[in-house]
A and B are shown apart, each in its own frame.
Chain A
Amino acid sequence: DQQVKQNSPSLSVQEGRISILNCDYTNSMFDYFLWYKKYPAEGPTFLISISSIKDKNEDGRFTVFLNKSAKHLSLHIVPSQPGDSAVYFCAASAETGNQFYFGTGTSLTVIP
C-alpha cells in the first residue's frame, strides 16, 4: 500500500521556467514532509522539508507547498536549471511513527 504517491514518473521543462513536482499522501497522521533529489549513481540528497504547521517553506529557488486538506504537496523550482535534472522523491512521516514513507520519484529533465 503506497501511502505516498508521485503520479508523474517524468517531467520536462525548459531552462528558466518553473518546474512543479507533485506528491499526494493518504495518511492523515503524516506531519512532516521532505523532498530529496537523486542523481544517477548517487544516493538521495536532502533538498527541503516542511512541517504540517506550515503551508509553505522556501529555500532559494526551491519552495515546497503543503495543502493538508487535499493531502497534497508540491515542489516548485524557479527558475529551473539544467543541473536540476534528477529524480525527485517526496517522503512523509508521522510524529508517532518510526519511518519515512517515500514516493516512487519523478524524473525531471530541464532542457537548455
Chain B
Amino acid sequence: DSGVTQTPKHLITATGQRVTLRCSPRSGDLSVYWYQQSLDQGLQFLIQYYNGEERAKGNILERFSAQQFPDLHSELNLSSLELGDSALYFCASSSRGSGALQETQYFGPGTRLLVL
C-alpha cells in the first residue's frame, strides 16, 4: 500500500460526459502528479501540482483540467469525453516537498475509465 488513494476505482460513462477523478496523496506529500495509461502505452505525464500550484504540464488535453486543494487532495476533471479517453489514470505523490522531479513518486492504484 503506497498510501496514495484514488477514487473511484472504476468509472463507466458515455461520450460527451464529464467525470472527476480524485486523489489523496500520502500524508505529508505536497506534490501530486497525474498520469494516463492507454492500452499498450506507457504512462503519459499529464500534470503536476505542488502545494496547490500547478508546477509542470505534460501532454494534457485542453478538455482536461486539474486542481489541488488546500488539504492537498487533487482532482482531475475530464470533459467532453471521447472513446479514446478510455484509459487507466494514475495519481502519484512525492515526499520531499520541494517538488523536484527526481523525488521518488508513490503511485495510487489508479482509476480505470471506460468511455462508451
| Interface residues, chain A, with chain B CB atoms under 8 Å away | 2, 4, 6, 32, 36, 41-46, 49, 89, 91, 93, 95, 97-105
Contacts and interface: CB of A to CB of B under 8 A. Distances in A.
B116 to A, nearest CB: 22
Contacts of A36: 107
Contacts of A42: 109
A104 B42 contact: yes
Contacts of B2: 43, 45
A93 B104 contact: no
A95 B101 CA distance: 8
Nearest to B100: A95
Residue with the highest number of chain A CB atoms closer than 10 Å, among B35, B40, B41, B101: B101
Interface of B: 2, 4, 35, 40-45, 48, 55-58, 90, 92, 101-102, 104-110
A64 to B, nearest CB: 15
Contacts of A93: 101-102
Given A43-B4, A44-B90, A99 B101 contact: yes
Nearest to B46: A99
Contacts of B102: 32, 49, 93
B90 A43 contact: yes
A93 to B, nearest CB: 5
20 contacts: A32-B101, A43-B90, A43-B92, A43-B110, A45-B2, A45-B107, A46-B104, A46-B106, A93-B101, A95-B101, A97-B101, A98-B101, A99-B101, A100-B101, A102-B35, A102-B44, A102-B45, A104-B40, A104-B42, A105-B42
Nearest to B41: A104
A102 B107 contact: no
Nearest to A90: B42
Given A42-B109, A43-B107, A44-B107, A2 B92 contact: no
B101 A46 contact: no
Given A43-B90, A43-B110, A45-B2, A99 B42 contact: no
